Structure 1
Amino acid sequence: MSLTQDFEQILETALPTDPSFQRIEQAVIDRCICDTRRYALEGSKEAFLFSAMRLLALPDNGHTRLIPNDAISVLPLRFVSIGTALHLIGTAPETIAPRGELIAVNGTPLSQIEAASKRFLAGTRQRKRVIGSILLAWPYALARLGFSSKDDTTEYRVQDENGQITDFKVENGYTVPASTLYPRNEHGKADPAWKPERFVEIKDWQGLGLSILLPSFFDPGESALPKAISGAAEQVSACSNKALLIDIRGNTGGDFLQTMPLIDAISENASRQVVVLVDKFTFSAAIVFVAILKHRLGRRLKLIGEEMGDALMFFAEGGLLDLPTSGAVVRYSSAFHDWGNGTSDETTPAEIARQIVPAGALDLDWEWTAKPTAEDAHGAFYQRVLKSLSN
């Protein structure tokens, strides 16, 4: 097999199926196709993948993109976007490196590298921050962007929480499979292998209210999520006089239709106060969950956190293409969503079109971005937020 077979899959399935490409000038698409085809014919795997990233990023629809994680190797460093900064929060085993905010790579300020990489990354500003972290550990990407070093190392400059700046180098030949440090669905946790243990976690904070943690709406078995949502809905209905804190930080999406019973239960009480915690790792169906709640609750819903990873107008559904030669994955879309204005079109599945509402803007009531702490994990932050609802 050759890279041309991977390339043909993109041309034959992703581009003609995905309506988001209809908004892009054909000449622009053709130029990117030409570059990607050239690298495929040459058999240059990394060049092909990087060019395909550019091609699939053209519509700026984050649901449509090439995901290189399973196909490439990276330096043994895990970078994650926290707030507006990029942090080194972990390494591969047996790798020692100082933790902290990334300031520069090979002497180039991070802001300059991020500006150059934007056109290879799909989606909103926040989604680019999430999926762009891998580029800082990918030697080929740094070289293609024009920021490689003059020798066979990559030098990083980081600043710790005390303001101390440290420079360190990593040999470019010392790489690990990217998927071991960068999960396909990036959640922002320190442990790249993190997976939710359950779909719903509810806790009653005595007189303050209930907290509901919803880490994911993706259920391959299609039975555990509906069961968990049903149980949560019953508990919320039974505590109709209590305020709610709903945490969907790190929820990368799934099937929002399965969550409708919980949305209904939350919406039953006309006076209930609800706060939802969100971040840049909140995507797709999780944002739809928030949009429907906002439409129903209005001012009774407060949003705390940071701008989410997707806009309210996007293209979704579609499918995945496993590219057999390169090992990469292509995510492509097939349906239009507009949860800001509440509109759909002929590509929107009927069951989704029936639920679409005009949520307007999902503006934050309290902007809060911080690295997860032990205090947060033990609920002190939850209690502080719930107390604020009664003030």
Structure 2
Amino acid sequence: MSLTQDLDTILDTVLPSDPSFRRIERAVMDDCISDARRRASEGSTEAFLLAAMRLLALPGNGHTRLIPNDGIQVLPLRFVSLGTAVRLMATALETEAPRGELVAVNGTPVGEIEAAAETFLAGTPQRKRVIGPILLAWPHALARLGFSAGEKTTAYRLKDDNGRITDLTVENGRTVPASKLYPRSEHGRADPAWKPGSLAEITDWQGMGLSIELPSFFDPDGRALPEAIAGAAKHVRTGPSRNLVIDVRGNTGGDFLKTLPLVDAICVDQSRRVAVLIDKFTFSAAVVFVAILRHRLGDRLTVIGEEMGDGFTFFAEGGLLDLPVSGAVVRYSTAFHDWENGTSDETTPPEIARHMVPAGKLTLDREWDETSTAGNEEGAFYRRVLTSLDD
């Protein structure tokens, strides 16, 4: 089989059915298709995947993108964007390296590499920062972007929390499957294999209020999320009228329709004040959850964190497409969502359109960085937020 078959699969399935491509000029699209076809005919999987990434990034829609993780090898380093920095969070192959901020790769500042990679990355600037770090551990991508130090090694400069600088050199032949360090749905945690232990973790902070952690709305078996949401909703409805902290940081989405009973429970008490915690790893259905809360609670909702990975207007639904030759996966969209203005079009499923509300533009009430949650294993951060809601 040829890589051209993978490209034809994209052209036959994604481009005709994904409405986000309708606004792309045909000449621009044809140029990217020609480049991808040329790379495919040359037989280089990595070159083809980068070209396909550029093609699928054209609409600027993060739900439509090529996910190369299952088709490439990377150096044994897990980089994650936290706050405004890229940090080394984990290693593989017994690689010794200090955890900390990535300053430069092959002598080039990280920010310069991120800027050069933008056309290969889909979605908002925040989503680009979520999915982009894999390129920093991918020798072929660094070479394609013009930041390779040669064929044999890649050099990294790291800064730990005390400001100490460490230089790390990794042999380019010492790689692991990218999926080992970079999950398809990037959640930003140090352990790439992290899975939520509970879909709704409720804590009562001794009269100060409640915190509800909602780490994911994905529910493959169709039972776990409704049960978790029903339990959380019952707790909110039957407990005393108290303030709430709702944490959807790292929630990459799922089915927002199943979360509506909790939204109703949160909003029924007009005296309650609510804080929602968000970050760049908040996507899709979790964004919709925040939009509905914003619309229904108004000034009673305090938004804390950083911009989410998706805005209130995006394309979604669709599905996943396996590329059998390269081993990569394509995520594509089939429906328009506009939670900013509360509008839909012919591609929006009726069951979603009937719940659509005009939430307006989301603005942060308070910003935070990754150091703001230090010590949260004892609830210090949640308690500070709950206390601040009464100020």
**TM-score exceeds 0.5:** yes
Q: Please identify, of 144-153 and 15-24, the stretch whose mean Cα deviation from structure 2 is larger.
A: 144-153
2:77/2:88 contact within 8 Å kept: yes
The residue type equivalent to 1:37 in the other structure is R
CA distance in 2, matches of 1:111, 1:248: 27
Percent pairwise identity: 71
Partner residue in 1 for 2:68: 68
Distance apart, 1:90 and its partner CA: 1.0
Q: Secondary structure at the match of 1:272?
A: coil
1:318/1:332 contact within 8 Å kept: yes
Partner residue in 2 for 1:209: 209
Q: With structure 2 as the length reference, what TM-score do the two structures score?
A: 0.98
Partner residue in 2 for 1:341: 341
Partner residue in 2 for 1:195: 195
Partner residue in 1 for 2:170: 170
Structure 1 residues 11 and 151, CA, compared in 2 at 3 Å: closer, same or farther?
closer
Alignment of 1:63-212 (within 5 A): 63-212=63-212
What do residues 77-136 of structure 1 show as CA deviations (whole Å, max 9, x unaligned)? 000001111011110141111221111110111111111000000000100000001000
Q: Secondary structure at the match of 1:79?
A: strand
CA distance in 1, matches of 2:232, 2:18: 36
Distance apart, 1:5 and its partner CA: 1.4
Partner residue in 2 for 1:247: 247
1:240/1:272 contact within 8 Å kept: no
The residue type equivalent to 2:166 in the other structure is T
Distance apart, 1:374 and its partner CA: 5.6
CA distance in 1, matches of 2:34, 2:239: 60
1:240/1:269 contact within 8 Å kept: no
Q: Please identify, of 290-299 and 231-240, the stretch whose mean Cα deviation from structure 2 is larger.
A: 231-240
Partner residue in 1 for 2:288: 288
Partner residue in 1 for 2:375: 375
Q: With structure 1 as the length reference, what TM-score do the two structures score?
A: 0.98
Distance apart, 1:378 and its partner CA: 2.1
Distance apart, 1:240 and its partner CA: 5.0
Is structure 2 residue 357 aligned with structure 1 residue 365? Answer: no
Distance apart, 1:7 and its partner CA: 0.9
CA distance in 2, matches of 1:184, 1:351: 27
Q: Structure 2 regions of 5+ residues with no counterpart?
A: none
Partner residue in 2 for 1:42: 42
CA distance in 1, matches of 2:4, 2:170: 33
Partner residue in 2 for 1:356: 356
CA distance in 1, matches of 2:214, 2:76: 30
The residue type equivalent to 2:334 in the other structure is S
Partner residue in 1 for 2:388: 388
Q: Secondary structure at the match of 1:70?
A: helix
Q: Structure 1 regions of 5+ residues with no counterpart?
A: none
Distance apart, 1:2 and its partner CA: 1.7
What do residues 147-177 of structure 1 show as CA deviations (whole Å, max 9, x unaligned)? 0003510000111111111111000000001
Alignment RMSD: 1.0
Distance apart, 1:198 and its partner CA: 1.3
CA distance in 1, matches of 2:23, 2:311: 17
2:200/2:212 contact within 8 Å kept: yes
Distance apart, 1:248 and its partner CA: 0.5
Is structure 2 residue 238 aligned with structure 1 residue 238? Answer: yes
Distance apart, 1:197 and its partner CA: 1.0
Q: Spell out structure 1 runs of 4+ moving beyond 3 A.
A: 371-374
